[in-house]
Amino acid sequence: MSLKPSTTITMASQRPQRARGVCGALPIGVLALAAGACFAQGDVSSCRREADDSRRLACYDAALGTEFGRSGTDPAAPSAAPGPLSAAVGAEPPTRPAARPAPGQDEMLAAVASKTWELAPETKRGTFVVRTYQPNFVLPAHWTSSVNLAPSTPTRGTAPSALRYKSVDAKIQISLRTKVVEGLLLPQADLWFSYTQRSLWQLWDTQQSSPFRSTDYQPEAIYVIPTPPPLAPLWAGWNWRMTQLGLMHQSNGQSGALSRSWNRVYAAASVDRGDLGLVLRVFRRLRDGSNDDNPDIARYIGDTELAAAWLPGLATAQVTWRTRLGSSSRGSIQWDLTYPVDRSRPQGLRWYVQVLSGYGETLLDYNHRQTSVGTGLTLFQF
């Protein structure tokens, strides 16, 4: 079938002194809702030892890639007015003295999260600048406990047996995004468009010409609403960074009994505290009328997703739980772990491990339960 137009989650934050190089490794969804450490450029631990206020601020500017001083001036010079970041987060009044102490953890986290999704005026990069979205990875060793050799749906029936697929294959994901409208409806709120493609490739099955077993296509529109500074602090150190509203399409481009597709809208909220981030997303499926490839898909994959991401240092870890409200018998749980190949270059290649148990690893297998384990590398991040 043809790809239908139309379309994910999680945030994380990180201690400032370790806020470098984890963006390309963040598991599925972490980058999607603003991670607290994604676009930090360098290590800020040395900045704390700088006694001179102006030099210390310049050090933070260089490390975080964000101006804490006044825009358009020498960062090493004392500023006579609050900078754009402080104005965005409401951290200081206009009468604040020119010489300021080093930014605290909350301010730095706000700066990094702001740069991830361009939440504040000084982080805006304009429209149609292509950036990565969900993790881009290749897992050449991907094993499943149960290969679905007879995919079926209530409306399309059962697909005839074709190739005898192996239980070990490769999993590949490419994901990009771009902002299409700035300042839409609400202050600093932007509209983004993303595209994600995920494939299972029978790389090791040379006898059958190494076919692609499944490919899912996922375009998505994402409306990002920054949380106004007075509303951001919640309780016990937690901060509400943003809200997202999304329209998501997902299909596999197949026909007949192998055809799968659906459209969903969702609302998501992301909060963080220190190096822990949480994102809750609630979906609602849009009706496809009488031409529905998979009318029962939400009963298997679910309509609610909760992701917890932890970034204690060089490593990243995330757990994502998908379920259906009122029913816990289906859904899935997924673990994603990463670590740099070279500890001195955490922004480079990273080892990636993904474990999933339950339903919906692919659209083709939405009603087929399995456990899969994949290992490989992240590809790139920009």
Q: Which are the catalytic amino acids?
A: 249, 251
Residue 122: other Cβ atoms inside 10 A? 16
CB 198 within 8 A of CB 221: no
- Residue of 34, 32, 23 lying closest to 242 (CA atoms): 34
What angle do helix axes 53-64 and 105-117 make, rounded to 10 degrees? 30
**Owner of token pair 């005026």:** 121
SS3 percent helix, strand, coil of the chain, rounded to 5, is: 15, 35, 50
CB 331 within 8 A of CB 301: yes
Question: What is the DSSP track for 145-200?
Answer: S---SS-EETTTEEPPP-----SEEEEEEEEEEEEEESS-SSTT-EEEEEEEEEEE
Structure tokens at 335: 């673990």
Cross-strand partners of 309: 277, 318
